[in-house]
Amino acid sequence: MILLWFIIILMAGGIVAWIVEKWNADLSRWISFLALAVNFVIAVMIWSQHDFMLAEPNSIWIADYAVNWIPIFGITFHLAMDGLSLLMLMLTFFLGMLSVLTSWKEIQFKIGFFHFNLLWVLAGITGVFLTMDLFLFYFFWEVMLIPMYFLIGIWGHENRRYAAYKFFIFTQASGLLMLLAILGVYFIHGNVTGTYTFDYFQLLNTPFEPDTARWLMLGFLIAFVVKLPVIPFHTWLPDAHSQAPTAGSLILAGLLLKTGAYGLLRFVIPLFPDAAHDISKWAMLFGVIGILYGALLAFSQTDLKRLIAYTSVSHMGFVMLGVFAFNELAVQGVVMQMITHGISTGALFILAGSVYERIHTRDINQMGGYWSKAPFMGFIAIVFVMASLGLPGLGNFVAEFLILVGTWNSSHLLTILATTGLVGATAYSLRIMQRIFYGTEIKSSHPFVDLSLREKAMMVPLVLVIVWLGLFPQPILNTSKIPMMKVVQTQSKSKQESVALDILNNKEDSKGGDHE
Amino acid sequence: MKELLWLIPTLPFTGALLLILLGRKLPRFAVSLIGAGSVGLAALITILVGIDFNSSSENSFQQIVWTWIDVAGLKPQIAFHLDALSLVFIFVITFVGFLIHVYSTEFMQDDEGYARFFTYLNLFVGSMLILVLADNLVLLYFGWEGVGLCSYLLIGFWYLDEKNGYAARKAFIITRIGDTAMAIGLFMLFKAFGTLHIQDILTQAPQTWTVGSEEAVFIAFLLLGGAVGKSAQLPLQTWLPDAMAGPSPVSALIHAATMVTAGVYLISRMHIVFELAPLAQMWVGIIGALTLLLAGFSALTQFDLKRILAYSTISQIGYMFLALGVGAWSAAIFHFMIHAFFKALLFLAAGAIIHLLHHEHDIFKMGGLKNKLPTIYWTFLIGSASLAAIPFITGGFYSKDAILWLSLAGEKGNVGFFLAALIGAFITSVYTFRMVFVTFFGTEKTHVSHSAGSRMTIPLIVLAALSTFAGFIELPHSIAHVELFSNFLHPVLPTITLQEGAESKEWIVQLIAVVVSLGGVYLAYYFYIKKPELPDQLKTSSIAFHNFWFLGWGFDTAYDTLFVKPFVFVATINKQDIIDRLYDELVKLADFLHRVFAWTQSGILRWYMVGIVVGAILIVTLSLLVGS
Amino acid sequence: MNTIPVEAGLMLAGILFVLGTISVLVRRNIIFMLISVEIMLNAAGLAFIVAGSRWVQPDGQVMFIFILTMAAAEVSVGLALILQIYHQLKTLDSDAANKMKG
Nearest to B346 by CA among B386, B314, B373: B386
Go through B454-493 and write b for each residue having 16 or more CB atoms within 10 A of its CB, e for each that does not. Answer: ebbbebbebbbebbbebbebbbbebeeeebebbebbeebb
Contacts B20 to A, Cβ<8 Å: 379
Q: A68 to each of A184, A199, A498, how far by Cα in Å?
A: 21, 11, 39
In this prediction, what percent of chain B has a pLDDT beyond 90? 4
One-letter amino acid identity for B329?
W
Average pLDDT, integer, range B533-551: 73
Contacts C94 to B, Cβ<8 Å: 604-606
Instruction: Judge whether A467 is closer than 8 Å to chain B, CB to CB.
Output: no
DSSP letters spanning B182-232: HHHHHHHHHHHHS--BHHHHHHHHHHH--TT-HHHHHHHHHHHHHHHHHTT
| pLDDT over 70 at A320, yes or no | yes
Average pLDDT, integer, range B406-413: 80
Task: Show the DSSP H helices in A228-263 as ranges.
Answer: 236-243, 246-251, 257-263
Contacts B162 to A, Cβ<8 Å: 368, 434, 438-440
Contacts C33 to B, Cβ<8 Å: 605-606
Per the omega criterion (within 30 degrees of 0), is the bond before B235 cis?
A: yes
| pLDDT over 90 at B490, yes or no | no
Q: A308 to each of A346, B537, C4, C85, how far by Cα in Å?
A: 10, 55, 87, 58
Average pLDDT, integer, range A181-188: 91
Nearest to B21 by CA among B159, B122, B99: B122
In this prediction, what percent of chain A has a pLDDT beyond 70? 93
Residues sharing a CB contact under 8 Å with residue A323, sequence separation 6 or more, in sequence order: A261, A264, A265, A269, A283, A330, A331, A334
| pLDDT over 80 at B406, yes or no | yes
Q: Which of B594, B595, B609 to mutate to test the interface with C (most CBs of C within 10 A)?
A: B609
Contacts B144 to A, Cβ<8 Å: 392
pLDDT in the model for residue A362: 85
Residues 562-601 on B with a CB inside 8 Å of C are 597-601
pLDDT in the model for residue A149: 92
User: C100–B603: do the CB atoms touch at under 8 Å?
Assistant: yes
Residues sharing a CB contact under 8 Å with residue C75, sequence separation 6 or more, in sequence order: C34, C38
**Higher pLDDT, residue B2 or A164:** A164
Distance from CA of B617 to the nearest CA of C (A): 12
Average pLDDT, integer, range B521-547: 75
Q: At what angle do helices A304-323 and A412-437 cross, to 10 degrees?
A: 160
One-letter amino acid identity for B561?
T
As a whole number, the mean pLDDT across chain B is 84
Q: Which of C93, C98, C99 to mutate to test the interface with B (most CBs of B within 10 A)?
A: C98
Tell me the backbone φ, ψ of residue B134, rounded to 5 degrees: -55, 140
User: A439–B165: do the CB atoms touch at under 8 Å?
Assistant: yes
Nearest to B376 by CA among B395, B343, B352: B352
Q: CA-to-CA distance for B159 and B177, rounded, in angstroms? A: 24
Find residue A77's DSSP bridge partners: A67
Tell me the backbone φ, ψ of residue B356, rounded to 5 degrees: -80, -20
User: C94–B597: do the CB atoms touch at under 8 Å?
Assistant: no
pLDDT in the model for residue A192: 87
pLDDT in the model for residue A93: 93
Q: CA-to-CA distance for B134 and B147, rounded, in angstroms? A: 14
Chains with at least 3 CB pairs less than 8 angstroms from chain C? B
Q: Among A201-210, B190-199, B353-362, where is mean pLDDT lowest?
A: B353-362
| pLDDT over 80 at A411, yes or no | yes
Distance from CA of B180 to the nearest CA of A (A): 6
pTM assigned to the model: 0.87
User: B602–C97: do the CB atoms touch at under 8 Å?
Assistant: no
Q: CA-to-CA distance for B119 and B153, rounded, in angstroms? A: 10
User: B609–C24: do the CB atoms touch at under 8 Å?
Assistant: yes
Distance from CA of B70 to the nearest CA of A (A): 7
pLDDT in the model for residue A504: 47
Contacts A238 to B, Cβ<8 Å: 577, 580
| pLDDT over 60 at A511, yes or no | no
Percent helix, strand, coil in chain B, to 5, is: 75, 5, 20
User: A440–B187: do the CB atoms touch at under 8 Å?
Assistant: no
Contacts B583 to A, Cβ<8 Å: 235
- H/E element holding B81? strand B77-83
| pLDDT over 90 at A82, yes or no | no
Instruction: Judge whether B590 is closer than 8 Å to chain A, CB to CB.
Output: no
- H/E element holding A12? helix A2-20
pLDDT in the model for residue B7: 86
Instruction: Judge whether B572 is closer than 8 Å to chain A, CB to CB.
Output: yes
pLDDT digits (tens, 9 = 90+) for A218-246: 999 999 999 888 888 888 988 999 899 99
Contacts B65 to A, Cβ<8 Å: none
Interchain contact B/C (3 or more Cβ pairs less than 8 Å):
yes
pLDDT digits (tens, 9 = 90+) for B218-269: 899 999 998 998 888 888 888 888 888 788 888 888 877 678 888 889 998 8
Q: Among A129-133, A369-373, B68-72, where is mean pLDDT lowest?
A: A369-373
Confidence of residue A501 (pLDDT cuts 50, 70, 90): very low
Confidence of residue A52 (pLDDT cuts 50, 70, 90): confident
pLDDT in the model for residue B271: 87
pLDDT in the model for residue A503: 47
Nearest to C28 by CA among B604, B614, B611, B608: B604
Residues sharing a CB contact under 8 Å with residue B414, sequence separation 6 or more, in sequence order: B407, B408
Contacts B599 to C, Cβ<8 Å: 102
Confidence of residue A373 (pLDDT cuts 50, 70, 90): confident
Q: A394 to each of A140, A280, A337, A415, how far by Cα in Å?
A: 33, 29, 11, 21
Go through A32-65 and write b for each residue having 16 or more CB atoms within 10 A of its CB, e for each that does not. Answer: bbbbbebbbebbeebbeebebeeeeeeebebbeb
**Higher pLDDT, residue A33 or B111:** A33
Q: CA-to-CA distance for A80 and A89, rounded, in angstroms? A: 12
Confidence of residue A435 (pLDDT cuts 50, 70, 90): confident
Give the end-to-end CA distance of chain A in Å, rounded to a whole number: 57
In this prediction, what percent of chain A has a pLDDT beyond 90? 34
| pLDDT over 90 at B353, yes or no | no
**Cβ neighbourhood burial of C88 (10 Å; 0-12, 13-18, 19+):** exposed
Go through B550-569 and write b for each residue having 16 or more CB atoms within 10 A of its CB, e for each that does not. Answer: bebbebbeebeeeeeeeeee
Most confident of A202-216, A474-488, C36-50: C36-50
Contacts A420 to B, Cβ<8 Å: 180
Instruction: Judge whether A391 is closer than 8 Å to chain B, CB to CB.
Output: yes
pLDDT in the model for residue A58: 61
**Is ipTM strictly over 0.90?**
no
For residues A288, A294, A299, A300, the Cα torsion angle rounded to the nearest 10 degrees is 130
| pLDDT over 70 at B620, yes or no | yes
User: A393–B152: do the CB atoms touch at under 8 Å?
Assistant: no
Nearest to A294 by CA among A315, A318, A269, A321: A315
Angle CA B29–B32–B38, to nearest 5: 135
**Higher pLDDT, residue A46 or B499:** A46
Distance from CA of B266 to the nearest CA of A (A): 18
One-letter amino acid identity for B370?
K
**Cβ neighbourhood burial of A207 (10 Å; 0-12, 13-18, 19+):** exposed
One-letter amino acid identity for B196?
L
As a whole number, the mean pLDDT across chain A is 86
pLDDT in the model for residue A508: 44
Distance from CA of B591 to the nearest CA of C (A): 14
Confidence of residue B374 (pLDDT cuts 50, 70, 90): confident
pLDDT in the model for residue B588: 92
User: A405–B190: do the CB atoms touch at under 8 Å?
Assistant: yes
pLDDT in the model for residue A288: 92
DSSP letters spanning B532-569: TTHHHHHHHHTHHHHHHHHTTTTHHHHHIIIIIHHHHH
| pLDDT over 50 at B295, yes or no | yes
pLDDT in the model for residue A509: 45
B148 to chain A: closest CA residue: A391
| pLDDT over 70 at A344, yes or no | yes
| pLDDT over 90 at C65, yes or no | yes
Q: Tell me the three state secondary structure of residue A81.
A: strand
Per the omega criterion (within 30 degrees of 0), is the bond before A229 cis?
A: yes
Average pLDDT, integer, range B377-384: 86
| pLDDT over 60 at B333, yes or no | yes
Instruction: Judge whether B91 is closer than 8 Å to chain A, CB to CB.
Output: no
Residues 183-222 on A with a CB inside 8 Å of B are none
A391 to chain B: closest CA residue: B145
User: C101–B605: do the CB atoms touch at under 8 Å?
Assistant: no
A410 to chain B: closest CA residue: B191
Q: CA-to-CA distance for B272 and B269, rounded, in angstroms? A: 8
User: B613–C25: do the CB atoms touch at under 8 Å?
Assistant: yes
Chains with at least 3 CB pairs less than 8 angstroms from chain B? A, C
